C-alpha cells in the first residue's frame, strides 16, 4: 500500500490548497497556522500509510491540541478541518484507503475538544468548581444503580453554609462568595477521588459518597469542621438497598440536617442562658455588696445623729391642775391626751385636799374669791404653779437623707427591699 505524505513535496501542496480553500470561503480573518496544518496532514498520512497502526489516540489528541492552541480554542479550528475532504478530493487523493475515516477521526477529536469544556461548563458551578444540580441528578441516579448492583452503602450528604445572609449583609457579597468557595474547597479536600460534590443552591451543597456508611460520614464531617472550614450544618441519608429515588434520599438528608440544626441551636441557647445567669448572679452580688455598704453608712449616720443629741420628745407645756382635762394643742402640733395627773394631796387650811379631785373651789377663809381652775395657779396659797413643757420636733435633715438612702438601696436590690417600682416616701 502506498504510503503518502511522508515527503515534503506531497505535504506542502496539500497545506497550500487547504489554505486557499479556507481563504476563499470568506471566513473571519485568522492567521493561517502553517506548521500546525503540516502536522495535521502528516498525521493523516501516517494513519493512511500504516493503516492506522502507526499513530495512537494520544498522538491524535496531541496533534489536534496543537491545532486548537493555534486557534486559541476557537470553533474555527473545527470549521477549517471540515475543508479536508475537499482538499483531498481536489488533489485526487480522496480515494486513498482510510483517508476518509482518518479525516473523520481528526474532526471528531477536535469537536470533542471544543464541546467538552462547554458541556463541563453547563454542568459546573462557576463559583466553586463543583457540579451543579443537573450534574447531581445524573450522578445520584448512577450511584444508586451502582450501589444496588454491587451491594455497597451509599451516603447522600446535604451540607448548608451557616449565616450566608449575615455575611453578605455585613461584609458584602465578595465575602459570601469567598465563604462558599472556602467550604467547597474544605469538603473536596477531604473527599476521595470517586466522591462527588455539587452546589445545588445559594448556600446548599450535596455530596455523593460511595462505599460510605452514616457513621463514616459523621467522622468525615468532623474532620472537615476541625480543618477550619466555614461554619456549616449537615445531614445524611444512607442507602443500603431497596427501591428509592434520588429525590427521596435528598429529602431524607435535608430532614436530618434540619433536626441536627435545631438540636445545635437549642444547645447554644442553653449555654447562653447559663452564661447570662452567671453574669446576672455576679451583678446581683455586686448590688448586694453595694447595699451592705449603704446599710453600713446608713447605720453610722443614724448612730451619729443619736449620739450627738438627736431631738427627743420633751415636755415644755404648762400642766393643768390635778384632775383638769384640756384639749389644747401644743406648739409641736401634737394634741394633748386627757389624763389625770397623780399628785400628793395638798393641805388646805387644816384639811387635806384629795389628789384626784376634778375641780377645786378654795375654802380658805382668807380668800374671798373662787380659785380659777383654768390656770396653772391653785387656790392653795402654799402651792406654787406647776409648769412643764412638751415639744416634739422632727429633725429637718435626717428624714430626707434616710428616705433617699432607702430608695437607693431598694433600686440596687432590684426592688427586693420595698418592691419594684416603689416610690419611697419614708423608710
List, for residues 313-352, the tens digit of each pLDDT value.
444 444 444 443 334 444 444 444 444 444 444 544 444 4
Tell me: the pLDDT tens digits for 80-117? 999 999 999 998 888 888 888 889 989 998 888 888 77
- Identify the top-confidence range among 18-32, 61-75, 258-272, 285-299: 258-272
Angle formed by the axes of helices 34-49 and 57-70, nearest 10°:
160
Q: What are phi and psi of 345, to 5 degrees?
A: -65, 135
For residue 49, count other CB atoms closer than 10 A to its CB: 20
Strands, sheet with 154-161, edge to edge from the N-terminal-most edge strand: 196-199, 204-210, 154-161, 232-239
What pLDDT is recorded for position 28? Answer: 62
Q: Is the pLDDT score of 308 beyond 80?
A: no
Q: Cα–Cα distance between 366 and 368 in angstroms, integer?
A: 6
What pLDDT is recorded for position 121? Answer: 79
Q: How confident is the model at residue 398 (pLDDT cuts 50, 70, 90)?
A: low
Buried (b) or exposed (e) across 313-332, using 16+ Cβ within 10 A? eeeebebbbbbbeeeeeeee
- % the chain with pLDDT above 70: 64
What pLDDT is recorded for position 385? Answer: 45
What are the residues facing 207 on neighbouring strands? 157, 197
Measured torsion, CA atoms of residues 62, 68, 69, 71, in degrees rounded to the nearest 10? 160
Q: Cα–Cα distance between 71 and 64 in angstroms, integer?
A: 11
Say if residues 133 and 125 touch (Cβ distance below 8 Å). no
Q: How confident is the model at residue 420 (pLDDT cuts 50, 70, 90)?
A: low
Its sign, for the CA torsion 120, 126, 129, 134, is: negative
Q: Which three cell numbers stand for residue 6?
A: 511522508
Say if residues 48 and 98 touch (Cβ distance below 8 Å). yes
Say if residues 140 and 237 touch (Cβ distance below 8 Å). no
What pLDDT is recorded for position 314? Answer: 47
Q: How confident is the model at residue 191 (pLDDT cuts 50, 70, 90)?
A: very high
Helix (H, G, I), strand (E, B) or coil at 107: helix
Amino acid at each position: 500500500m502506498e504510503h503518502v505524505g511522508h515527503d515534503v513535496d506531497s505535504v506542502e501542496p496539500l497545506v497550500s490548497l487547504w489554505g486557499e480553500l479556507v481563504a476563499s470561503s470568506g471566513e473571519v480573518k485568522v492567521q493561517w497556522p502553517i506548521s500546525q496544518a503540516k502536522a495535521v496532514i502528516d498525521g493523516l498520512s501516517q494513519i493512511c500509510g500504516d493503516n492506522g497502526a502507526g499513530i495512537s489516540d494520544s498522538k491524535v489528541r496531541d496533534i489536534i491540541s496543537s491545532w486548537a492552541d493555534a486557534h486559541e480554542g476557537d470553533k474555527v479550528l473545527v470549521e477549517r478541518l471540515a475543508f479536508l475532504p475537499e482538499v483531498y478530493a481536489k488533489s485526487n487523493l480522496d480515494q486513498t484507503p482510510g483517508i476518509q475515516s482518518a479525516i473523520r477521526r481528526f474532526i471528531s477529536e477536535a469537536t470533542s475538544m471544543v464541546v467538552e469544556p462547554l458541556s463541563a461548563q453547563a454542568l459546573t458551578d462557576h463559583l466553586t468548581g463543583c457540579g451543579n444540580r443537573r450534574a447531581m441528578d445524573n450522578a445520584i441516579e448512577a450511584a444508586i444503580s451502582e450501589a444496588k448492583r454491587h451491594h455497597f452503602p451509599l451516603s447522600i450528604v446535604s451540607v448548608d453554609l451557616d449565616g450566608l445572609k449575615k455575611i453578605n449583609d455585613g461584609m458584602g457579597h465578595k465575602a459570601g462568595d469567598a465563604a462558599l468557595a472556602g467550604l467547597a474547597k474544605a469538603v473536596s479536600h477531604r473527599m476521595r477521588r470517586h466522591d462527588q460534590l455539587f452546589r445545588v443552591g445559594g448556600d446548599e451543597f450535596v455530596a455523593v459518597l460511595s462505599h460510605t456508611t452514616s457513621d463514616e460520614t459523621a467522622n468525615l464531617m468532623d474532620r472537615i469542621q476541625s480543618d477550619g472550614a466555614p461554619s456549616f450544618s449537615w445531614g445524611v441519608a444512607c442507602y443500603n438497598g431497596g427501591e428509592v429515588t434520588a429525590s427521596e434520599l435528598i429529602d431524607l438528608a435535608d430532614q436530618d440536617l434540619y433536626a441536627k440544626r435545631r438540636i445545635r441551636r437549642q444547645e447554644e441557647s442553653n449555654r447562653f442562658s447559663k452564661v447570662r445567669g452567671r453574669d446576672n448572679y455576679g451583678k446581683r452580688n455586686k448590688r448586694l455588696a453595694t447595699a451592705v455598704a449603704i446599710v453600713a453608712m446608713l447605720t453610722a449616720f443614724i448612730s451619729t445623729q443619736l449620739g450627738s443629741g438627736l431631738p427627743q420628745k420633751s415636755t415644755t407645756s404648762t400642766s393643768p391642775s390635778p384632775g383638769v382635762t384640756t384639749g389644747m394643742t401644743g406648739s409641736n402640733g401634737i394634741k394633748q391626751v386627757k389624763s389625770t395627773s397623780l399628785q400628793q394631796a395638798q393641805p388646805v387650811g387644816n384639811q387635806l385636799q384629795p389628789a384626784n379631785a376634778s375641780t377645786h373651789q378654795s375654802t380658805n377663809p382668807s380668800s374671798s374669791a373662787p380659785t380659777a381652775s383654768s390656770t396653772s395657779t391653785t387656790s392653795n396659797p402654799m402651792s406654787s404653779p406647776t409648769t412643764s413643757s412638751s415639744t416634739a420636733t422632727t429633725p429637718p435633715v435626717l428624714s430626707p437623707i434616710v428616705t433617699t438612702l432607702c430608695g437607693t438601696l431598694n433600686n440596687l436590690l432590684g426592688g427586693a427591699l420595698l418592691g419594684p417600682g416603689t416610690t419611697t416616701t419614708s423608710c
